[in-house]
Amino acid sequence: MNTLPPSWKTAFSLVEPWLGAPLTPEEGLSAMELDALNQELGRPLPALVRAWYGAVGKCERLYHPGSQLHLTPYTQLEWCSLWDDLEGEGLAGEEADYPRRLILYDENQYLYSWVVLESDSHLANPPVYIEDADGVLGSEYLLLPSTAYFSDFAAQALAFELVTSADHPLELDTPTPLADAARLFSPVADEPLVHPQELRFWFTDSILAATMDDTWFCAEALSEEARQDFESHLKGNL
Determine the pLDDT at residue 112: 80
Distance CA 156, CA 225 (A): 26
d(CA 67, CA 61) in angstroms, rounded, equals 12
Q: Pick from 216, 45, 34, 26: which is nearest to 121 by CA? A: 45
CA 64 to chain centre: 12
Neighbours of 190 (CB within 10 A): 14
Taking the chain (238 residues) in consecutive chunks of 10 residues, what is each chunk's mean pLDDT? Answer: 80 89 93 96 95 92 69 91 82 84 82 89 93 65 79 89 79 68 87 81 90 84 88 68
Contact (CB, 8 A) for 200 and 211: yes
- Residues 101, 99: Cα–Cα separation, whole Å: 6
Is residue 103 within 8 A of residue 114, CB to CB? The reply is: yes
Crossing angle (nearest 10°) for helices 47-56 and 6-19: 20
**Is 92 within 8 Å of 141 (Cβ atoms)?**
yes
Model confidence, pTM: 0.86
Q: Which amino acid is at 238?
A: L
